[in-house]
Amino acid sequence: MEKERMPVELYAIHTGFLDDEIIFSKKLKQVTYQRYEKVNSLKLKEEQKRSLAAGLLLESVLRDKGYDPQLIEREEGGKLFLPDVPDFYFSIAHSGEYAVCAISDLPVGVDIQQKKETKMKLARRFFQSGEADHIEEQPPEKRDDLFFRYWTGKESYLKLTGKGLLGGLDSFMVDFESSKIRDPYSSEEIYLKEYHCFEDYYISVACYSSDFAAFIKKIYYRM
């Protein structure tokens, strides 16, 4: 009998609870040493808050699934994983006042971006020409939306592969009509799910599975 696959799950947390310096310090002492070092390596307080929130979210999800966050390791490309744990993958991202975490029993990648003013030269520089054309064809008020949909879609796939930006945003295409990533160098079907749960934020999840959860699960911390 074929093993039943788990749906791709997505979790989110708002960073606001870390505004209080006492709570920030308390929570920083609770994360793994790896995350502690990551947070302290950042110079800006807002970056520290986002990184800490992402770490707390990931560790909470892992414990809920029965895994020890202390076992987390980092691949050479920066992708986090649990050694000796088959069929369990996760990805985290943060932007603005939110951090997100996606999990699956197949490789998965997630990205979130807070809406800002689009600079079309970035699309021309990093996207495929057809994607940049698609953005420029839109009315001015819709270009930002489409730009960030492309950007998060591409970032989520690069996080799935573990290549990061070194993988090249123009080496594959985001196909919104089919909700897939079209990568000429991959023989796998790569599915894409967009979430629109927070105003002025764009979230995309890429996975080899098409079974995505319909909603984001929000995590709240008791002080």
pLDDT in tens, 96-135: 999 999 999 999 999 999 998 777 888 888 899 999 999 9
What single-letter amino acid sits at 98? Answer: Y
How far from each other are the two terminal CA atoms of the chain, in whole angstroms?
A: 46
Contact residues for 127 (Cβ-Cβ < 8 A; gap 6+): 135, 150, 154, 169, 170
What percent of the chain shows pLDDT beyond 70? 96
Q: In whole angstroms, what is the distance from residue 159 CA to residue 79 CA?
A: 7
Q: In whole angstroms, what is the distance from residue 202 CA to residue 212 CA?
A: 16
Across the chain, mean pLDDT equals 92
Q: pTM of the full predicted structure?
A: 0.93
Give the mean model confidence (pLDDT) for residues 53-57: 97
Kindly tell me if the per-residue pLDDT of 183 is higher than 50.
Answer: yes
Spell out the domains of the chain, with CATH numbers in brackets. 9-218 (3.90.470.20)
What percent of the chain shows pLDDT beyond 90? 79
